[in-house]
Amino acid sequence: MAPFLLAMALNACALTAHAAGGEVSFPKSRNGWIPRIARQYNSLEFEAALDLLRDAERPTTNTDQDRLWLDLMKGVLHYSLSQGKANGPQSEDARIAEAAFRRVLERAPDAALPIRNPSQALTQYFEELRAAYRQQIPVQETVAPAEPPPPPANISKEELAEKLRKMEAAAYEWAGGRLPLPVSEAFRALYEQALVAESPEEKQAVANAIDTWMKVLTSNDTKGVNELTPSPVSPKPTAHAHATHLSDAVPRSTFDLMLKSLTVYVLSQRVSGMRQWLIKQSEEGYSRQLVDLLNQVSEQHLELETAETSHERMGIAITLDRIEGQMFIHTGWRIRGSDPRPIPFASR
């Protein structure tokens, strides 16, 4: 019996020496088990404290602070128990203590032990774990937060209309004649986006899309054009009809004057002027009427790109005359009719 009693006495001395001068501090909490755990630890009742700790971990109302303290105490209690065992560092208590402390350090790398004046052995053990944990964390460079981009400039509808005009001019130059149908369809969508755009961000998005078109058109990038159109574009668009329809010739007779008014070139200029006018009218907000008028004009533009005969172009000119009448009523557009002169961008 003597050896057994001696071992028990040594274990008790070890536990007492470990806890000497080390009262537990605990957070304010609605978990009533926490102060009871502290009292049991202060009384050196480590096993009883662990029994209470298991109950304290169950409530779902535990806060992050509660859970952190409970893991710290689990580490402290199991570490204390491991010190009274012959295989201390290799004991199950030592393993549980280390796991609990590591969980704490993962959540709060600067956490402190919940004991006032802990023993030197416990302090050294905990700090060694902290140092080992920090060595495992890759050093992260502090990156200054990027300054937010400046708000987009509030582009006016007149500026958008001018951008669209230049884009169309570049497109005709690129095509060497009529615009391929996929390009016309893409431009129609851009015009509608420009009409309905209201916020600075929406208008800037349209302006950016136009700039992208300008880049591929002026660089003669057919592949880039194909990426912007709903369907592939022929690499060699057909020649423009204006070369054979007196678009640049000086009228020599009334008949020539009539022919000139029906050329693809003049009609396309007329359509462009009408569309750009409608864009300008949406500066204060768009209406269903403006959208309908733009769609009607755009339909005639698509018809124009496929028209082959003077008879077809005459039908387009008559339809444009009718649309101009509606534009006069709703927007104040000055009716030009089938004017043979190239139509500049109109203003009030």
* Structure confidence by residue, pLDDT tens digits, 94-120: 899 999 999 999 999 998 999 888 888
> What value does the mean pLDDT of the chain take?
78
* Token reading at 229: 């159109």
Split at pLDDT 50, 70, 90, the class of 233 is: confident
Quote the pLDDT of residue 1. Answer: 41
Spatial distance between the Cα atoms of 185 and 303, rounded to a whole number of angstroms:
11
Spatial distance between the Cα atoms of 242 and 246, rounded to a whole number of angstroms:
6
**Which of these, 22, 64, 63, 61, lies nearest to 44 by C-alpha position?**
22
Q: Name the more confident of 61 and 69.
A: 69
In the chain, the largest separation of any two C-alpha atoms, in whole Å, equals 137
Split at pLDDT 50, 70, 90, the class of 214 is: very high
What's the average model confidence in pLDDT over 5-26?
50
298 and 188 Cβ atoms separated by less than 8 Å: yes
321 and 333 Cβ atoms separated by less than 8 Å: no
Quote the pLDDT of residue 307. Answer: 84
Q: Name the more confident of 284 and 139.
A: 284
Residues of the chain with pLDDT > 90, as a percent, come to 17
φ, ψ dihedrals at 241, nearest 5°: -75, -15
Quote the pLDDT of residue 52. Answer: 92
Q: Kindly report, residue by residue over 262-296, the tens digit of the pLDDT.
A: 777 788 888 888 888 888 888 877 788 888 888 89
| Predicted structure pTM score | 0.48
Cβ burial of 118 (10 Å; 0-12, 13-18, 19+) is buried
Spatial distance between the Cα atoms of 7 and 336, rounded to a whole number of angstroms:
114
Q: Kindly report, residue by residue over 34-51, the tens digit of the pLDDT.
A: 999 989 998 989 999 999
| pLDDT surpassing 60 at residue 255 | no
Q: Name the more confident of 271 and 138.
A: 271
| pLDDT surpassing 80 at residue 169 | yes
122 and 113 Cβ atoms separated by less than 8 Å: yes
The single-letter code of the amino acid at 52 is L
Quote the pLDDT of residue 36. Answer: 92
